[in-house]
Structure 1
């Protein structure tokens, strides 16, 4: 199950990024909901929210270590929790999706832009970022549930 999730996540991320490059690289944004949601091309040389800007080698090495550690954990401990396995598969697929960009382009292709008029702009992101975020939220939910905090 994890391998299927990882492969589908990577494929979805690649397809959407290739679409963004082909469609949005020219600078023409696509407005989905005026003053709220649009597709807008951005080359991100950092990580989430622009941290570690221009630290390509650092981000690549950290990503490889994290992905390797999660894969070793999955194979070594074979967790029985479906939510744990799914959360880790989402994190791996998103991490690999952005890693592919860093290796291929030396930056990550971001294109999903949420904002409120010209007042607030959430940092531009992509499908890989969504996968990592959802995986992290599921992982937090699992940890809280397992530790008894949710009881």
Structure 2
């Protein structure tokens, strides 16, 4: 019922709709940004990955009432928080967007 790392998981139920609305707004904004940057394939890849992850988690939240995290990584005493494929898409896409924003323009100018 919550968000990343169980944020607001113990709230009274309003968070399902709150996070669904936030995700819908994010999807619309990502679509706008994607279509404004169609010539840059690397940047588009970042937007598409974040968009796919947002839509995947939104579908879970609307249909199931919560996002299903099913990938568990642990080794000895180390345990990573549970996540899903959509979370991975969002993380990789955000990394691409961050890399593009911080480094790519400088590399192309050099």
Q: What TM-score does the superposition give when structure 1 sets the normalisation length?
A: 0.63
Aligned twin of 1:81: 40
Q: Check if 1:61 corresponds to 2:17.
A: no
**Aligned-pair RMSD on alpha carbons?**
1.8
- Length, aligned pairs only: 105
Higher relative contact order (CA 8 A, sep 6+): 1
- Match of residue 31 from structure 1: none
Instruction: Pick the structure with more helix per residue.
Output: 2
The match for 2:3 among 47, 50, 56 is 47
Gaps of 5+ in 1: 1-44
After superposition, residues 100-139 of structure 1 pair within 5 angstroms as: 100-117=59-76, 119-139=77-97
C-alpha deviations, 1:35-76, integer Å up to 9, x for none? xxxxxxxxxx1111111325111110110001101112222x
Runs of 4+ in structure 1 deviating by more than 4 angstroms, as ranges, are: none
The structure with the greater share of residues assigned to strand is 1
Q: Which among 66, 79, 90 is matched to residue 49 of structure 2? A: 90
Unaligned runs of 5+ in 2: none
- Structure 1 position 72 matched with structure 2 position 32: yes
